[in-house]
């Protein structure tokens, strides 16, 4: 054998650990990688560092007591977590909520979607190297959290819905302040887009990164923006409308290629659609009670299992509840967390690509570890 | 109780069955005393009551119907779902594979034998277009004779947005075949069920614990696992802590080297 001495250019696979304490992992995600130089040969997400046994705890609590614990799963989108749980229990108990409650819920849920997408945009951009959008998005997110604080007293773990409706009517002047925010919001989205959408560096870092086809996305069970980014027009709000989404006019944005840039565009457009939904909800907010007449003790009549789901900012958030006869607690409460299932596709999206793309893909999947580990 | 006994026997012979004519005679004066009304009056009273009821009914009809959120909740009920097209198709393809089909709150649950889960899922995905597995989970029923665990498959069809639930019953320590080769998304879901319930999925490409760590002692979502948790010290640091529990208290106080 002739040629240069191979031992000088020894190509060896290196095993490296990414996280769990790393700012770009959005929490305590650990990815064990095998690298060939900068190229990822194998990536294996390791999770469970934030496992708190929420599903086990649910089995010991009455239905209303479970609600505050749902906040702590996807902690940047607490309102949609509450909504999912309430919708499921209402299905199990056969409760119909009054229209005003449904509209207030939709307002809160869409505000929450905006807040969650703003966190996603901020951290995703910071991961890739654009720090400015962070300051812009957190300005608006704070305005949304102020509205939440005024409504229910909390900013993050809201516990803002009740089985059968919402706990309070809107405070005086809240609608005007919300209206003001909503009216100006499209302008703010334009600001973010000015910074990123046509930015050369942004495009180079996101186009053709983390591509996943529509068939693959369905195979991997992706939901939410990662599925829509691949071109599947699918949104729980349209497919299985809950609350009063069937009365609202909005579009489902979809991507073409299923790369990180498409998912970025999908989420940006989703924010515009949320603004549109909010506008309609604020204009049409009906009068009436904000709570249905529900019994003081919520008791299941017949044993059975139900599954209820909502379109959370991250994807389909489902609750699967098994109840025994005359029970006041769930016998089993399974949460179908969208982040957990979306994260599973991470190896398929990064293997064969550079380490730097891993940050982009983790960012674009928009994971929250509190929900993955429960 | 013993004081009451002597009183009851004398009463029993006076029952209508034993003395034929006497009850009527005894009853007649009573009715006359209580009811001095003649038949006409009776009829009038009945008519009056009827009119009242009708008026009430009419008033209820005239008044705006109550909104559903003002009424009592209407809980869902179980219905037989043997007429479900998927259940029929499955039974036609594999006779007797769906012994029970149930519809509850609009959701169809088909019970299938655990041993045939792979062929059922393959058929549903290929022939019935259930391309999307939404969720896979388990439920623990420790006291049940039929088998301890329910493994639940919850799938979605895009064509008409229909969802279908399969339920397979497995006994404790009985494995079930993996469906990862049918839906890739089942991978982590099965790992989670294995981790939290201890159900083994045969044919899974890498059945490891996912939310707890390798070496964790127990399966937290089983009903016999304590809610407050267990002392896991022994599992994490086997060289420091003896197996089966944490460190003895006197050792920790002296703590030479101690826990890492």
Per-domain residue ranges of chain B: 78-211
**pLDDT confidence of residue B244:** 54
A294 contacts B73? CB cut-off 8 A:
yes
Is residue A112 very low, low, confident or very high in pLDDT (cuts 50, 70, 90)?
A: very high
Q: Testing the interface with A: which of B70, B72, B75 to mutate, by most A Cβ within 10 A?
A: B75
Q: Of the candidates B71, B185, B225, which has its C-beta nearest A341's C-beta?
A: B185
Geometric angle at alpha carbon A221, from A126 and B156, rounded to 5°:
140
CB distance A91–B70 less than 8 Å?
no
What is the C-alpha separation between B240 and A33, in angstroms, rounded? 30
Whether residue B232 has pLDDT greater than 90:
no
**Separation between Cα atoms, residue A45 and residue A30, nearest integer Å:** 6
Q: What is the pLDDT of residue A6?
A: 60
| Mean pLDDT for the stretch of residues B37-65 | 74
Q: Which of A255-259, A348-352, B52-56 is the least confident region?
A: B52-56
**Region A63-68 average pLDDT:** 90
Contact yes or no for B221 and A295 at CB 8 A: no
What is the DSSP code string of B219-252?
Answer: -TTSTTS-TT----HHHH-TTTSPTTSS--HHHH
Contact B132 A221 (CB under 8 A): yes
For B118-124, which contacts have Cβ atoms below 8 Å and span 24 or more sequence positions? B118/B177, B118/B179, B118/B182, B119/B94, B120/B90, B120/B94, B120/B166, B121/B153, B121/B166, B121/B179, B121/B182, B121/B183, B122/B182, B123/B90, B123/B93, B123/B94, B124/B86, B124/B90, B124/B155, B124/B164, B124/B166
Average confidence (pLDDT) over B199-203: 90
Q: Which pLDDT belongs to residue B86?
A: 82
Residue of A nearest to B225 (CA): A56
Q: Tell me what the mean pLDDT of segment B229-258 comes to.
A: 55
Label residue A353 by pLDDT band (50, 70, 90): confident
Question: Which residues in B lie closer than 8 A to residue A55 (C-beta atoms)?
Answer: 196, 221
Asked if A51's CB is within 8 angstroms of B221's CB, the reply is no
ipTM: 0.86
Question: Mean of the per-residue pLDDT values for chain A?
Answer: 88
Q: Is the pLDDT of residue B259 over 50?
A: no
Go through the domains of chain A in sequence order and give each one's CATH number: 51-373 (1.10.645.10)
CB contact under 8 A, A307 and B133: no
Say what the pLDDT of residue B27 is: 44
By CA distance, what is B167's nearest residue in A?
Answer: A305
Averaged pLDDT, B51-65: 70
A252 to chain B, any CB pair closer than 8 A? The answer is no
- The rounded percent of chain B whose pLDDT value lies above 70 is 71
Chain A environment of B132 (Cβ under 8 Å): 218, 221
Please tell me the class of the B78-211 domain: alpha beta
Percent of chain A with pLDDT over 70: 97
With a cut of 70, say whether residue A55 has pLDDT above it.
yes
Of residues B68, B75, B183, nearest to A302 (C-beta): B75
The token pair that represents A355 in the structure block: 């380490």
Sign of the Cα pseudo-torsion (A9, A10, A13, A15, in order): negative
pLDDT, position B143? 86
Q: What is the pLDDT of residue B236?
A: 59
8 A C-beta contact, residue B187 and residue B204: yes
Q: Is A276 on the interface with B (CB under 8 A)?
A: no
Distance CA B111, CA B168 (A): 6
Query: Number of A:B CB contacts under 8 A?
Result: 125
Please judge whether B227 and A294 are an interchain contact, meaning their C-beta atoms are less than 8 angstroms apart.
no
Please check whether residue A61 touches B, CB under 8 A. no
Peptide bond into A20 cis (omega under 30): yes
Say yes or no to pLDDT of B12 above 50: no
Backbone angles phi, psi at A175, to 5 degrees: -60, -40
Does residue A118 have a pLDDT over 90? yes
Neighbours of A44 (CB within 10 A): 12
Contact (Cβ atoms closer than 8 angstroms) between residue A258 and residue A162: no
| B152 neighbors A320 (Cβ within 8 angstroms) | yes
pLDDT(B237) > 70: no
Output the pLDDT for position B238: 60
Q: Tell if the CB–CB gap between A307 and B221 is shorter than 8 Å.
A: no
Q: Is B145 in a helix, a strand, or coil?
A: coil
3-class DSSP state of A143 = helix
Q: What angle do CA A356, A359, A362 make, to 5 degrees?
A: 145
From chain B, the residues in CB contact with A165 under 8 A are 69
**pLDDT of the residue at B61:** 62
pLDDT-based confidence at residue B151 (cuts at 50, 70, 90):
very high
pLDDT for the residue numbered B4? 47
Q: Per-residue b/e over B87-122, b at no fewer than 16 CB within 10 Å?
A: beebbeeeeebbeebbbbbebbbbbbebebbbebbe
Closest CA to B108 of B58, B152, B62, B53: B152
The reply to whether A336 touches chain B by the CB within 8 Å rule is yes
For the ranges A71-75, A227-231, B8-12, B115-119, which has the lowest average pLDDT? Answer: B8-12
Residues in chain B closer than 8 A to A28 (CB atoms): none
Report pLDDT for B245: 52
The verdict on A220 touching B (C-beta cutoff 8 Å) is: yes
Coil/strand/helix, residue B195: helix
Identify which has the larger pLDDT, A259 or B12: A259
pLDDT of residue A7: 61
Residue A294: is its pLDDT beyond 90?
Answer: no
């Amino acid at each position: 054998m002739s040629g240069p001495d191979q031992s000088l250019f020894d190509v060896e696979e290196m095993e490296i650990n990414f996280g769990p304490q790393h700012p770009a992992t959005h929490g305590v995600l650990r990815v064990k990688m095998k690298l060939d130089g900068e190229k990822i040969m194998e990536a294996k997400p390791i999770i469970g560092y934030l496992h708190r046994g929420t599903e086990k705890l649910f089995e010991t609590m009455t239905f209303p007591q479970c609600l505050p614990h749902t906040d702590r799963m996807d902690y940047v989108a607490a309102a949609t977590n509450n909504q999912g749980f309430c919708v499921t229990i209402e299905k199990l108990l056969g409760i119909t909520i009054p229209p005003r409650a449904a509209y207030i819920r939709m307002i809160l849920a869409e505000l929450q979607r905006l807040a969650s997408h703003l966190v996603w945009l901020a951290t995703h951009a910071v991961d890739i190297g654009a720090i400015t959008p962070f300051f812009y998005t957190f300005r608006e997110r704070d305005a949304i959290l102020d509205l939440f604080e005024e409504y229910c007293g909390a900013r993050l773990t809201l516990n803002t819905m009740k089985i059968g409706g919402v706990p309070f009517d809107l405070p005086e002047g809240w609608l005007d302040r919300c209206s003001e925010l909503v009216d100006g919001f499209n302008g703010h989205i334009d600001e973010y887009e000015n910074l990123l959408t046509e930015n050369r560096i942004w495009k180079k870092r996101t186009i053709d990164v983390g591509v996943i086809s529509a068939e693959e996305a369905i195979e991997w069970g992706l939901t939410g923006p990662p599925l829509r980014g691949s071109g599947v027009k699918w949104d729980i709000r349209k497919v299985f409308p809950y609350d009063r989404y069937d009365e609202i006019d909005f579009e489902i944005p979809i991507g073409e290629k299923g790369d990180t840039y498409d998912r970025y565009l999908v989420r940006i457009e989703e924010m515009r659609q949320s603004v549109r939904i909010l506008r309609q909800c604020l204009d049409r907010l009906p009068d009436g009670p904000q709570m249905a007449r529900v019994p003081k003790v919520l008791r299941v009549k017949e044993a059975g299992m139900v599954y209820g789901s909502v379109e959370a900012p991250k994807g389909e958030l489902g609750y699967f509840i098994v109840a025994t006869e005359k029970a006041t607690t769930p016998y089993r409460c399974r949460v179908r967390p969208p982040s957990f299932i979306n994260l599973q596709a991470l190896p398929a999206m990064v293997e064969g690509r550079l380490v730097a793309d891993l940050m982009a893909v983790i960012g674009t999947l928009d994971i929250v570890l509190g929900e993955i580990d429960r | 109780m013993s004081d009451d006994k002597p009183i009851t026997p004398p009463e029993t012979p006076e029952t209508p069955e034993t003395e034929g004519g006497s009850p009527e005679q005894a009853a007649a004066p009573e009715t006359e005393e209580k009811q001095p009304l003649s038949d006409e009056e009776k009829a009038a009273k009945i008519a009056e009551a009827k009119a009242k009821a009708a008026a009430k009914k009419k008033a209820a009809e005239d008044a705006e119907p109550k909104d559903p959120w003002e009424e009592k909740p209407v809980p869902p009920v179980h219905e037989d779902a043997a007429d479900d097209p998927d259940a029929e198709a499955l039974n036609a393809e594999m006779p007797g594979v769906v012994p029970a089909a149930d519809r509850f709150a609009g959701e169809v649950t088909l019970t299938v034998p655990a041993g045939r889960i792979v062929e059922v899922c393959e058929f549903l995905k290929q022939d019935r277009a259930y391309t999307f597995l939404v969720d896979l989970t388990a439920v623990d029923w420790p006291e049940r004779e039929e088998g301890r665990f329910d493994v639940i498959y919850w799938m979605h069809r895009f064509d008409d947005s229909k969802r279908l639930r399969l339920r397979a019953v497995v006994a404790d320590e009985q494995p079930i075949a993996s469906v990862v080769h049918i839906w890739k998304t089942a991978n982590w879901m099965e790992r989670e069920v294995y981790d939290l319930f201890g159900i083994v999925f045969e044919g899974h490409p890498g059945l490891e614990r996912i939310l707890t760590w390798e070496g964790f002692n127990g399966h937290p979502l089983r009903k016999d696992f304590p809610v407050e948790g267990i002392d896991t010290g022994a599992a994490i640091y086997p060289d420091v802590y003896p197996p089966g529990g944490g460190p003895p208290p006197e050792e920790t106080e002296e703590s030479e080297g101690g826990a890492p």
